[in-house]
Amino acid sequence: QYAHDGLTVVLESTTYPGTTEEILKPLLEETGRKVGKNIYLAFSPERIDPGNPTYGIKNTPKIVGGVTEVCGDKAVAFYEQFIETVVRAKGTREAETAKLLENTYRHINIALVNEMAQFAHAMDIDIWNVVELAKTKPFGFQSFSPSAGVGGHCIPIDPNYLAYKVRAELERPFRFVELAEEINHSMPPYVARRVQDLLNSQSKAVKGSKVLLLGVTYKANISDKRESPAVPLGQRLLDMGAELSYFDPHVPAWGVNGVDVPRSASISGALQDSDVIILVQPHREFIEAASEISSSSTVVLDTTGKFAGANIERL
């Protein structure tokens, strides 16, 4: 209802290839206007990395693909007003697919290192040392770290848009994406099993034990909880009978699938009142309290690779 002559419309939400021209273009032309003539349409994927202190909107290159050449010109002219580098795509489908490639690349490589973490532990290999060693190669390698699972509004979701489109148009699976999804979804249950092993070593059962999660957001130093692996991890622990609690300085209240989870008052309180603690996200507040965490008598399962101590077991 806001359409008017001369308007430039840009879709930024990540979606499957073809959305801009198959969905938005017909809707805009229902207003009696012609895209590329008196109303202009483009796709430009958002590339925001919440909490990133180095790259923001201004200095992150912006991809722009127009439905027509003039549509692309209009969108480029808009973004060049406040973004340092604007990169022109061949069209909207290429721009849409570029964002999916970026996130699928991360999704698959996270799954790779997550699966390696599982068998490395079983073979008594320190996966964190392995990653640090591989990082010394100055070419041909980009580092990814294991974790309790993937979260956020991009990595767990966006690759499935591409998998959907491949199945819908080509009637074939996108096997890399589906396998990565399977592996990354396996991490919260795997972490829960590691907690069970730690409690067994103390002659304790999961049922009735006090288990606390440190950090329930989907990444460090933010308050965003979307698709956080803490939720399926918390659910698995509750199903196993654990007395679950959490502490996160960025999250005043939190729950698992409609069940409120008690919040510890502080890191010190969490350490004193728990049988085992799971470090899910390495918030800076936890890094600053590293000595207190690592000198505690409470067993800590560190899924972040950021902590060391006699009481620390890393993923």
DSSP characters for 168-197? Answer: HHH-S--HHHHHHHHHHHTHHHHHHHHHHH
Q: Which of 312, 307, 285, 283 is nearest to 296 (CA)?
A: 312
Distance CA 281, CA 279 (A): 6
Dihedral (Cα; 180, 181, 182, 184), 10-degree rounding: 80
* C-beta separation of 49 from 73 below 8 A: no
Encoded amino acid at 191, one letter = V
Q: Which of 225, 250, 101, 243 is nearest to 161 (CA)?
A: 101
State how far the Cα of 268 lies from the Cα of 110, in Å rounded to an integer.
32
Evaluate whether 250 touches 263 at the Cβ level (below 8 Å). Answer: no
Contact present, 278 and 301 (Cβ < 8 Å): yes
- Whether the CA torsion 90, 92, 95, 100 is positive or negative: it is negative
Active-site annotation, residues: 154
Given a contact cutoff of 8 angstroms between Cβ atoms, the answer to whether 66 and 93 are in contact is no
3-state secondary structure of 162: helix
d(CA 244, CA 126) in angstroms, rounded, equals 28
Which of 97, 96, 68, 74 is CA-nearest to residue 86? 74
